[in-house]
Amino acid sequence: MTAKCGISFFSVGIDGVSVTVRCKTGGVAVVAEPDADGYIFGLEEVEEATIIIEIDTGINVFGFSVDGNKNITPAKNYSQAGRVYRKKVPIHIPIHKGKEPYTQYNENHIKLLEIGTGGYFAIYEVAIVFQNGLGFLTTQQVYKGSVFKSGKGLFCPEFDGKWPQLVAFLESIYKQNGNGIDNLPCFDGYNPFVKKANSINLDDGVGIVRWFNVARGFGAISTNKGDAFVHYKDINSGKRLICPTAGEEVLFAKLIPNNSDGGFPYKTIGVIAA
């Protein structure tokens, strides 16, 4: 477990859930052996990697995928007992010298929904990613929230109106797996899990990480001029896998106007993170 990054390897951090990776090269498949930070030796030379997620019977974790319109499709279960999900991840190896191998976000991960007690839920991404030419197996919690019962059924304050497909998926999971909406707490207010950084109190060259998605390879930093886009290649870190934590304070060399990435007004350059 890499606590500062919120990432674990071969485990999502949930009892009864395990992750393995099979790599295929030259028609031969082998089981990968990641290092402690998730690095997989030789991954940059394989044709594809298959993520295999095994979930024990009775564990409320469910695989799914999301398309470009935020529509959700449940993952295919390859097991009769418990659940087993598989995801083939193509590894793109450029033919030009100096270009690094990569995976694309729309095909490099599988999402997992964890249903907890008291209405708590969390979403994880298990991914094969490349950073600076090195390949990694990563798992990261990307969302968490709570659901409540209301007069209209299931209510989710974090995502109602923002991602109705997720709310509908949550409701279907509760109905199909015996969790029961009637057993959920009643909605009586909402306190967000993570408060946004107060950027007006930050000094020049100092930022607070709002979020960073390791499967995408980028995130956002709050600064005293507003939110700024950050790519892992613009982050200096002593770690092989770069993944700053939400709420972490970082330093950066400068901000430049951002005309293309995610609608952020600025882009951070020369970020120094733990």
Closest CA to 181 of 123, 121, 119, 120: 119
Contact yes or no for 145/157 (Cβ under 8 A): yes
Asked if the structure places residue 256 within a domain, the reply is yes
Contacts of 256 by beta carbon, 8 Å cutoff, 6+ apart: 266, 267, 269
Q: Find the mean pLDDT for residues 231-235.
A: 94
Q: Which residue is listed with tokens 């107060």?
A: 198
Number of domains in the chain: 2
Structural domain that includes position 263: 199-272
Q: Which residue is listed with tokens 């990432």?
A: 7
| Residues 26 and 142 grouped into a single domain | yes
Residue 156: both structure tokens together? 């989710």
Q: Find the mean pLDDT for residues 179-193.
A: 71
Query: Does residue 178 carry a pLDDT above 70?
Result: no
pLDDT tens for 112-143 read 999 998 899 999 999 999 999 999 999 999 99
| Residues 112 and 174 grouped into a single domain | yes
* Distance in angstroms (rounded) separating the CA atoms of residues 45 and 35: 17
**Cα dihedral across residues 260, 261, 263, 269: positive or negative:** negative
Contacts of 35 by beta carbon, 8 Å cutoff, 6+ apart: 41
pLDDT tens for 195-207 read 554 445 888 899 9
In angstroms, the Cα distances linking 173 to 91, 166, 234, 270 are 32, 10, 40, 43
| Residues 174 and 205 grouped into a single domain | no
Asked if the structure places residue 194 within a domain, the reply is no
Asked if the structure places residue 233 within a domain, the reply is yes
What's the chain's average pLDDT?
87
260: pLDDT confidence band, cut at 50, 70 and 90? Answer: confident
The greatest distance separating any two alpha carbons of the chain, rounded to the nearest whole angstrom, comes to: 61
